Amino acid sequence: MRRPDRGVFVSDFVRIRPTADRRVPFARWAVAQTPKIRTSGPDTFTVPVNLLAGMPEDILIGSDIDGHRYVSPEEDEAEGRPAPGAELRGVATADGLAPASVPQQEADAEEPLPERTDETYAPDSSPLPEPEPAAEADDRPDGVFPCPGCDREFTSERGRDTHRRLKHADA
């Protein structure tokens, strides 16, 4: 959505609502910016997206950023949560992560893919069904609509009818 008075997109901004104990430090940081960061509500600031990555983390902890609570990496580490985007291998069980049932294979971009053997499939895997035989080909593929007045073909009836009205109006 575009704000007509400023010529900027609303998606270029995020709304940040700091916690009550971090509101004053956040306001100090906001007025130190050039141009100053403005409030968009009694306890909400509208911050350009490009400034978000450079903000001091201590004023963001616990804040709501566009409706989502900001969680610092230190908080994740203290609570034992994995970092976002962590790669998990294996199956989660009540006892922890079970090892993967199939060994991981490595491949380089320039080399062909390794051959698949029976060991590359998990013990509980089942083969895919065989593909159905191809249907007999029609003279004309689906979605082709020929014009009766000339040899042109169209992808929709509407296109063919419009063409016929414009080019073959006398017929």
Segment 63-121, tens digit of pLDDT = 999 988 888 877 777 777 766 655 556 666 677 666 666 666 677 788 887 777 777 77
Range with top average pLDDT, 6-15, 88-97, 156-165: 156-165
- Is residue 157 pLDDT above 80, yes or no? yes
Percentage of the chain lying above the pLDDT 70 cut: 76
**Predicted pLDDT at 80:** 77
pLDDT of residue 29: 93
pLDDT of residue 171: 67
Q: Mind listing the pLDDT tens digit for each residue in 33-56?
A: 988 888 999 999 999 998 988 899
Mean pLDDT of the 8-21 span: 84
CATH of the domain spanning 141-171: 3.30.160
Please compute the mean of the pLDDT values over residues 138-154 and round it to a whole number: 80
* Alpha helices, DSSP H, located in 33-115: 49-52, 73-79
Q: Considering just the CA atoms, what is the radius of gyration of the chain in Å?
A: 30
pLDDT band at 1 (very low <50, low <70, confident <90, very high): very low
Average pLDDT across the chain, whole number: 80
List the helix and strand counts (H, then E) for the chain.
4, 11
Amino acid at 74: E
Classify the C-alpha dihedral 150-153-158-162 as positive or negative: negative
Q: When comparing pLDDT for 139 and 92, which is higher? A: 92
Alpha-helical (H) ranges within the chain are 23-32, 49-52, 73-79, 157-167
SS3 sequence, 75-95?
HHHHHCCCCCCCCCCCEEECC
Distance between CA atoms of residues 134 and 151, nearest Å:
28
- For residue 162, the model assigns a pLDDT of 92
What is the structure's pLDDT at 163?
A: 92
Kindly report which listed range (29-38, 97-106, 118-127, 140-149) carries the lowest average pLDDT score: 97-106
Domain boundaries, the chain: 2-79, 141-171
